[in-house]
Structure 1
């Protein structure tokens, strides 16, 4: 399974993904799920993936190949004029990859080969954008009412995001919030695990700050331990039931 979050802030974008993939309890591996393409001063594009690993790797490979040898009918995300067009290209590539694999294997695209993606970034002269792309190739854009997207195992980490997110929060607070969200997910589902990949994108920088968070990371473990203690303290401070 997977857990990825893309978050839109006034200051820019923040991305976090886990790295665990599994085919049963005895076949667990670590694979990168966050990918970036950049052209300094012109554009910065990040993609996070969830779903069938072969499908997502096929999409990423196709996108990468087009940056090196663009095709007239299959444009490169590095030449798209807007982030909307970037999302459209990636959505069409995902849809085509699912259909291609289904035609070979004869499986339903809605099950075995399904995948979804979060796409975010900025092109010069425009505001940073964030999209969620569905297996069918269609997509939605983050806005004021939906300022973050999750893919993969979303339910365990969502409550803290809904309660604590604030669009004008600092990057430091956003990272803290994401760590709590991921810690909640990891504790509830064995198919999501460290290491985690973190990326911070400040608006108009056209450069990201990237970090891999290992299981031994002292700050992550401090946040996890103190969040657990804070929840226990909050629980015990609630009034007793008198019914």
Structure 2
């Protein structure tokens, strides 16, 4: 499995991916999930993938080579939307070629992608691609996309990231999101690829591969865990069976008579006839009886 997250901000784009492809006691694979398609000064595009590795690698190669019916490629189209259409075409071409053969071996055609970047003359744009080749685009109401093991790292992004968030703050948030996922799911693992793109540069200038020795990421892991525990301990415990008018943080009000849903036991449950009850013996009693015999 994997976890990838990308954010579209007023200031540019942030992309972060892990490199775990499978996980088990004795089977761990590492493949990089992020690919950059770049013509400096003209266009900069990033693709991140999750799902079946052989499928995503085939799609990535087709994206780089494919020319559509209008003679356009990812290297020549004038908009990111048209580039996303070419990515969708590549997904459908691989599906048409391989899906039926994979199905015979019980393998599902499973792939999801995040594709984003900027082509000169338009703004930064971000898309989430699906297995059918269709896609949706990020807007201000939803400035980020996740693929793979998304649930663990989602809450921090929902609380922090808006289009006005700075690139450095967004990168910090993405790393905290990744750390939360790493701690909760063995199918996501280091090293990480982080790319931070400043709008209108039309080149990838801020990129780093992060392993367990990375100083900043180690600080994130230590500080975030410590601060979370401190915040948790700073929240008052609940107050039971009290009057909200008399004290704060009342969980159960004294005049509220809520009850759980109780299931009654069967009529004979837990009842044993005294005539059939075996006497309780201790080890000393058993030993004494054995001596008498």
TM range (shorter): over 0.9
**Structure 1: gaps spanning 5 or more residues:** none
| CA-CA distance at 1:28 after TM superposition | 1.2
Whether 1:62 and 2:62 are equivalent positions in the alignment is yes
TM-score scaled by structure 2? 0.78
**Aligned match for 1:137, one of 133, 136, 143:** 133
Deviations 1:51-82 (A, max 9, x none): 0000000001112234xxx4657742111221
Highest CA radius of gyration, 1 or 2?
2
8 Å CA contact retained: 1:130, 1:141: yes
**Aligned match for 1:239, one of 214, 236, 240:** 236
8 Å CA contact retained: 1:98, 1:114: no
**1:113-192 counterparts in 2 under 5 A?**
113-192=109-188
Total equivalences in the alignment: 239
Shift in CA distance, 130/45, structure 1 to aligned 2, threshold 3 Å: same
**1:48-87 counterparts in 2 under 5 A?**
48-66=48-66, 70=67, 72=69, 75-87=72-84
> What SS does the aligned partner of 1:32 have?
coil
TM-score scaled by structure 1? 0.93
Is the strand fraction higher in 1 or 2?
Answer: 1
**1:69-108 counterparts in 2 under 5 A?**
70=67, 72=69, 75-107=72-104
> What SS does the aligned partner of 1:47 have?
strand
Indicate the residue corresponding to 2:32 in structure 1. Answer: 32
- RMSD of aligned residue pairs (Cα, Å): 1.8
Give the Cα separation in 2 of the matches to 1:139 and 1:107: 27
| CA-CA distance at 1:24 after TM superposition | 4.4
8 Å CA contact retained: 1:48, 1:119: yes
**1:186-205 counterparts in 2 under 5 A?**
186-205=182-201
